[in-house]
Structure 1
Amino acid sequence: MIIAMLKDTLKDKIKSYIKDNNINKYINIDGNFDVDFLAQGEYNVNFIVYDQKNKYVFRVNTNSQLQLDNQIKYEYDALKKLEISGVTPKVYFLDDSKNYINYGILIMEYLNGRPLEYNKDLRKSAKIFSNIHSIDTTKGDFSNFIIEENILSDRINEGERLLNTYMKSDIVDKSQKEFFYSFLNWCKENKDKEKYFRQDKWHVINNTEVNSHNFIIGEKESFLIDWEKPVISDPCQDITQFLAPTTTLWKADYVLSKEEKEIFFKEYIARLDEDKNIKERVHLYTPYLYLRALSWCAYAFIEYQDPNKDIKNMDTFKKIKQYLDIDFMRNLLKDYI
């Protein structure tokens, strides 16, 4: 009900907003345009604005996963820096005033294609990652990005923040609390491995949300979309997340085989100017990626109990509960803990 009300309210406002604010100065669209709902995330609602010749994505941001005061500008600035990669959407317009619509707004390129299919598109995804990870973040001004120097400590701090309310909640099973308590302790005891990343620093732009539905696979070109929370950090952030079952099961109910992972690594490495042992980096980072994924599920589980949450996706809630199953979590970490 909340989703339907928000979508319907926004759709009506968007049409008036575009007309009243002369947005056709920024995008190539005639007066007989229309607006349709496209898709939603946990903190964004997306619409298509289109006429007979052109289509654009009108993105409305409702909250920030990064606790930023100006989430939509962060995303807009990131997309501008990423355009050089050729595998991210172009962005045309930003309104962070919240004057007309009570949310941040950006308008970007509409890309034709389908979601990524793991059994078909690993080489295409490797090309996308290598293009993005080849952007030299030491040249030019990348000061607008959040930079993560201490990749394992950052995951621990993030996990503690996300788990705070969950661990205090009366509706959470004792065995789940005990699991997270032990998991956090293990991560803290092993965080000295972080020196590996400091001693051989490799910083690139990471998307941090690389599930299959954030890829657009086209007939000729393919893209990575949804740049809500990028950071500059080690590329193992995105590569680990992309390959992990917590990601591949999220939208596609798929688990990559060792052979498929090798296909991906081979293609990714071949397209880089230099490989600083991405496989070892992924191995070290994997349990900390699981801490992020599972802690976010714990946080979201509590959030979904709030009747006033702007966006609720029941498919997402189903996955959250699946991932928080104690046997599922223990199986993920059986090679580490």
Structure 2
Amino acid sequence: MRFLADRTSIPVPFIIHSGTKKESPLQLSPFIIIDYIDHETKMYDALNTPGCSIEEGGILDLNIGEDKLEMLYGQLADILLRLSTPSFPHIGSLSQIDDFVWKVARRSLSMNMNGLVQLGGLPRSKLPDLHTKFNTASSYPEALADLNIEHLTHQRNDAVESADDCRRKFVAWKLFRRLAKDKRLTNPSLEKGPFKIVGVVDWEFTYAAPAERSYSPPWWLLIEKPEYWSKGIETGREYRLKTFLKVMKDCEDIAIQQGSLREEQRLSGPMGQSWENGDFWIMNAVLHSFAFDTVYWQKIDPRFFGPTENPEGAWKERLNLLDEEEKYEMEQLVARKLKEMETSALVWDPNEYTLAFREQLKRQREEVDETYII
């Protein structure tokens, strides 16, 4: 947030103070104190269908006027455009070296990674090393593919529905990883960067990401995530994407006239191309692990490996693309998952706060036991 406030004109709240758990008064957790931004409503509420609750996931109001939509989309487009201008030689999270110098010093912590740990049972030890920085665009999705294979392995419950479902998911991630390793998922001209600042909902999940992330149209144009689009994954986006790209181009024209943007820094063209050639779905799959299976088999697999007679059974036709070691690994995973389905035990990776609380309870019990002994 300090970097964005220092290097861009994006309106971010002023940070009054922040600190670690040890620095907090009650030592409950890390904390941040920021200025309150006075506002009338939220962008979500302005775009959402009246009466559609958050629990329902939210749906773009189809009766919203075009002028109002352009006004709202225009403000968001302007922020995305400003986010895309800073660049770095690595992919990862920023650290402030001194008052004027920032650099990518460690791996990113995205909302997706956080969700895999908090909701998906992924042990934190399986995340990339804290000091990992990615130097190429292709190395990032490759690492995320490895991470999601680990997630499939370690999620204890509800990870798969059957043996074939496990095989289907395993094949998808293995082939996706191979595509990433072969540099087929990223633009060769952007392999060495520059890498762009990307903000996802909350600023704490902001990091320097591959430029392809900035070039991908935002999935939230319809509020719903693509896997929940009411008209299915095949339809429903183009009619709002045109509106968004129009206001994005308007923002670009103004920025170029003001001298704050160069012609080659436009996003509207690459965003439109990303939607047309399917790169949008690659970014969507990388950023939303829990929706990966649906997106991969419907959008990514046919693009790179060709259509199949039976899309539902496409994974069977792709088995010949795995080597013998990968097939053995798959069957080992299937056996493990089927055994886990028999018990559905509750297993998770406790964080340092949970461990500290356990120790506190243990000490309290020991003190009580000692009291009774005396």
Q: TM-score, normalised by structure 1?
A: 0.51
Task: Determine which of 279, 303, 310 is the counterpart of 1:336.
Answer: 303
Is the 2:14–2:34 contact (alpha carbons within 8 Å) kept by the matching residues of 1?
Answer: yes
Matching residue's letter, 2:5: E
Q: Output the CA distance in 2 between the equivalents of 1:250 and 1:109.
A: 33
Q: CA separation of 1:281/1:151 partners in 2, compared to 1, >3 Å: closer, same or farther?
A: farther
Q: Output the CA distance in 1 between the equivalents of 2:204 and 2:244.
A: 26
How many residue pairs align between the two structures?
216
Q: Output the CA distance in 2 between the equivalents of 1:163 and 1:245.
A: 29
Q: CA separation of 1:328/1:190 partners in 2, compared to 1, >3 Å: closer, same or farther?
A: closer
The answer for the alignment partner of 1:110 in structure 2 is 36
Task: Determine which of 75, 78, 86 is the counterpart of 2:9.
Answer: 86
Is the 2:15–2:33 contact (alpha carbons within 8 Å) kept by the matching residues of 1?
Answer: yes
Is the 1:206–1:232 contact (alpha carbons within 8 Å) kept by the matching residues of 2?
Answer: yes
Structure 2: 5+ residue stretches without partners: 48-59, 90-99, 108-132, 231-235, 256-260, 305-374
The answer for the alignment partner of 2:102 in structure 1 is 141
Is the 1:149–1:233 contact (alpha carbons within 8 Å) kept by the matching residues of 2?
Answer: no
- Residues 1:291 and 2:285 are matched in the alignment: yes
The answer for the alignment partner of 1:256 in structure 2 is 237
Q: CA separation of 1:95/1:132 partners in 2, compared to 1, >3 Å: closer, same or farther?
A: same
TM-superposition CA deviations, 1:75-100 (whole Å, max 9, x none): xxxx1101132322222211214352
The answer for the alignment partner of 1:229 in structure 2 is 205
RMSD of Structure 2 on Structure 1 (CA): 3.8
Is the 2:216–2:283 contact (alpha carbons within 8 Å) kept by the matching residues of 1?
Answer: yes
Is the 1:137–1:204 contact (alpha carbons within 8 Å) kept by the matching residues of 2?
Answer: yes
TM-superposition CA deviations, 1:136-179 (whole Å, max 9, x none): 65894234464543333312322322342424546412444333
Matched residue SS, 1:150: coil
Cα deviation, residue 328, structure 1: 6.5
The answer for the alignment partner of 1:153 in structure 2 is 139
The answer for the alignment partner of 1:190 in structure 2 is 179
Task: Determine which of 148, 152, 161 is the counterpart of 1:173.
Answer: 161
Q: Output the CA distance in 2 between the equivalents of 1:161 and 1:292.
A: 10
Q: Output the CA distance in 2 between the equivalents of 1:264 and 1:182.
A: 40
Is the 1:149–1:198 contact (alpha carbons within 8 Å) kept by the matching residues of 2?
Answer: no
Is the 1:243–1:261 contact (alpha carbons within 8 Å) kept by the matching residues of 2?
Answer: no
Matched residue SS, 2:197: strand
Q: Output the CA distance in 2 between the equivalents of 1:328 and 1:281.
A: 15
Q: CA separation of 1:170/1:89 partners in 2, compared to 1, >3 Å: closer, same or farther?
A: closer
Matched residue SS, 1:229: strand
Q: Output the CA distance in 1 between the equivalents of 2:223 and 2:214.
A: 11
Structure 1: 5+ residue stretches without partners: 1-78, 215-225, 298-322
Is the 1:135–1:205 contact (alpha carbons within 8 Å) kept by the matching residues of 2?
Answer: yes
Higher helix share: 2
Cα deviation, residue 236, structure 1: 2.8
Is the 1:91–1:106 contact (alpha carbons within 8 Å) kept by the matching residues of 2?
Answer: yes
Is the 1:90–1:109 contact (alpha carbons within 8 Å) kept by the matching residues of 2?
Answer: yes
Q: Percent identity?
A: 8
The answer for the alignment partner of 2:196 in structure 1 is 204
* Worse-matched range after superposition: 172-181 or 83-92: 172-181
Matching residue's letter, 2:145: G
Structure number with greater Rg is 2
Q: Output the CA distance in 2 between the equivalents of 1:149 and 1:122.
A: 33
Matches within 5 A, 1:124-139: 124-135=75-86, 137=88
The answer for the alignment partner of 2:20 in structure 1 is 96
Q: CA separation of 1:196/1:164 partners in 2, compared to 1, >3 Å: closer, same or farther?
A: same
Is the 2:227–2:295 contact (alpha carbons within 8 Å) kept by the matching residues of 1?
Answer: no
Q: CA separation of 1:142/1:181 partners in 2, compared to 1, >3 Å: closer, same or farther?
A: same
Matching residue's letter, 1:114: K
Q: CA separation of 1:143/1:115 partners in 2, compared to 1, >3 Å: closer, same or farther?
A: same
Q: CA separation of 1:110/1:239 partners in 2, compared to 1, >3 Å: closer, same or farther?
A: farther
Q: Output the CA distance in 2 between the equivalents of 1:290 and 1:251.
A: 10
